[in-house]
Structure 1
Amino acid sequence: MAAKYINPFTDFGFKKIFGEEASKPLLIDFLNALLPEEGKITELTFKNTEQLGDSRIERKAIFDIYCENERGEKFIVEMQKTKQDSFKERSLYYSTFPIREQAEAGQVWNYGLKGIYCIGLLDFVFDDYYFGEEEDEGLHIIELKNQRGKVFYNKLAFIYLELPNFKKEENQLVTRLDKWFYFIKHLKDLQAIPAMLKEEVFVQAFAKAE
């Protein structure tokens, strides 16, 4: 049977669903499902996804999606289908660009930074980052913490969604994030909108994916 919906783990499919101006409501809803209540987004502006180094010999970076919310917080969203052992290092490298971007030459600056979120949608799992079947549902939120586990700095976060580790069936979906996980993981295999995803934002997402 021919596929009805595009595969979100292709460059075209991912950007069609989340990376176009008309897709902003979908991207906002997805990001809000990852953020705490006090960090909810109401507006997003897409930014240039190609970031140059500080000199001709420095490597540039090309993000899948790069955007900024109404508070000036930056979001890098990456889709990675093929397993990449250095993906964590890649995320860390990418995070340096929105940090340096805030240090504009000639401006009075006290080193105050806006929040930066690096988000990875992964079609593989980390080999060296595992907590067991009962604890691992595919979501990892990484922040800078001290030796007692308390957050030391709350303006830099790495959020990884490991799609293979999300095992919930349709009748087990509870949260908005559950539904986005399910949508992204199963979209390419679906032939109709599941009953649990017949909310307006997902109906729009399925329409974009046709």
Structure 2
Amino acid sequence: MTKEYLDLKIDFMFKQMFGQPSRKHITLAFINDLLGREGADRIKDLTFVNTELIKDRDEGKTSRLDMAVVTEAGEHINIEIQVRNQHDMPERILYYWAKTYSSLIHSGENYHQLTPVIFISILNYSLFPTQTDEFHTVFHIREDSENILWSNQLEFHLFDLRKFMVKWRKYRRKNRKETPWLLMFTATDFDTKKVNNEILSDLEEWAMNIEQVREALIEWETLSANKENRVVFEARAKELRDLLSNLEGERRLGREEGRERGRQEGLKQVAIKLLKDGMSVEQVARYVELPVEVIEEWVHNLE
């Protein structure tokens, strides 16, 4: 019987898999491998926190993250997964980071009490499609010419699943710790409802050598088989599919409106030239196949 796995790119399944205290050991391995933490730098423990950041003023925006944790060293790590391009991701991450960072101390407390805030963004699209071919990029604040680090308090990790798949197809078992976790996000697709058996086969090979990956696969299969989870997942997936469909419809309408505005502007330029060459308003209207009133309005705006 074919195993079924629900798409971890859906926020509900992501939280079920990585946002539960009962599976903290899996979350620890997941975060350590994404951040490249090894040896003494490895995160040994973490606490899950409320992922709803309440707005602190009437006009403020309520920020919502897929998952937030605090490490034993006091680092705040926020993780968000996005399947659609909202075209404001850099500003969105900065806003969330600022909200989290500013909440770490209160009036009268010392700045040295502040601890690093790290963002991990897993995107199902390319945020920087032409600037880099890397699927994992890391950002800090640095001086432009000398590359001096301003502070270690800000750290952004960006994972591009599309570029990851290009690399995976080309190099396959390249020894990178992020690989099995990112394969889990690309093995299934909520939109097409298809499972990539080639990726699953590769994941099973990783699971033979890495205990946490093996446990994650078992938990993923168990969560996917749960009837209640499937109901919630399907509802959330439908909501997201509808949202993506509406977004594409709006973009298509925008493109059509843009083409029509371009056509109108082109006809206007032709009409103005013909008028300047001595043609009458009526003649121009017939030539560009527009009402006389439109041509007269263009003439009036030129005066």
1:180 is aligned to 2:196 = no
Q: 1:178: Cα distance to partner?
A: 2.2
CA distance in 2, matches of 1:86, 1:36: 29
Distance 2:180 2:219 in 1: 17
**Does the alignment pair 1:139 with 2:150?**
no
The alpha carbon displacement at 1:20 in A equals 1.1
State the Cα distance separating 1:2 from its structure 2 match.
7.0
Which residue of structure 1 lines up, in the alignment, with residue 196 of structure 2?
189
CA positional deviation for 1:100: 1.4
Shift of 1:127: 4.2
Structure 2 partner of 1:102: 104
| Structure having the larger proportion of residues in helix | 2
- Provide the residue aligned with 2:122 in structure 1: 121
Q: Confirm or deny: 8 A CA contact 1:17 1:23 kept in the other structure.
A: yes
Larger relative contact order (Cα-Cα within 8 Å, sequence gap ≥ 6):
1
User: Partner residue of 2:265?
Assistant: none
Cα RMSD of the aligned pairs, angstroms, is 2.2
Q: Letter of the aligned partner of 1:123 in structure 2?
A: N
Query: How far 1:196 sits from its partner (Å)?
Result: 2.5
Give how far 1:18 is off: 0.9
Partner of 1:21 in structure 2? 21
1:38-187 equivalence runs, <5 A: 38-105=40-107, 108-127=109-128, 130-131=131-132, 136-147=133-144, 148-166=146-164, 167-169=167-169, 171-187=172-188
TM-score by length of structure 2 reads: 0.62
Q: Could you tell me which amino acid in structure 1 is paired with residue 173 of structure 2?
A: Q
* Equivalent residue letter for 1:155: Q
Work out the percentage of aligned pairs sharing the same amino acid: 23
**Which string of whole-angstrom CA distances, capped at 9 and with x for unpartnered residues, describes residues 3-47 of structure 1?**
611101111221121111122212211211114435321111011
Report the CA distance between 1:111 and its aligned residue: 4.7
Any runs of at least 4 consecutive aligned residues in structure 1 with deviations exceeding 6 A, and if so which? none
* C-alpha contact 1:16 1:208 (8 A) present in aligned 2: no
Question: Gapped runs of 5+ residues in structure 1?
Answer: none
How far the C-alpha of 1:175 sits from its partner, in A, is 2.1
Whole-Å separation in 2 of the counterparts to 1:61 and 1:111: 25
Q: Which has the larger radius of gyration?
A: 2
Mapped to 1, the partners of 2:214 and 2:157 lie a distance apart of 25
Change (3 A) 1:47 1:74: same
- Aligned counterparts of 1:137 and 1:6: Cα–Cα separation in 2: 27
CA-to-partner distance for each residue in 1:128-165, whole Å, 9 max, x for gaps?
A: 6622xxxx231110011112223221121011100000
Give the secondary-structure state (helix, strand or coil) at the position aligned to 2:187.
Answer: helix
Equivalent-residue separation in structure 2 for 1:145 and 1:119 (angstroms) = 19
The answer for unaligned runs of 5 or more in structure 2 is 189-194, 222-303
Task: Provide the residue aligned with 1:206 in structure 2.
Answer: 217
Question: Is the 1:173–1:179 Cα contact (8 Å) retained in structure 2?
Answer: no
> In the alignment, residue 28 of structure 1 is paired with which amino acid?
L
Q: What is the DSSP-based 3-state SS (H/G/I as helix, E as strand, rest coil) of the residue aligned with 2:218?
A: helix
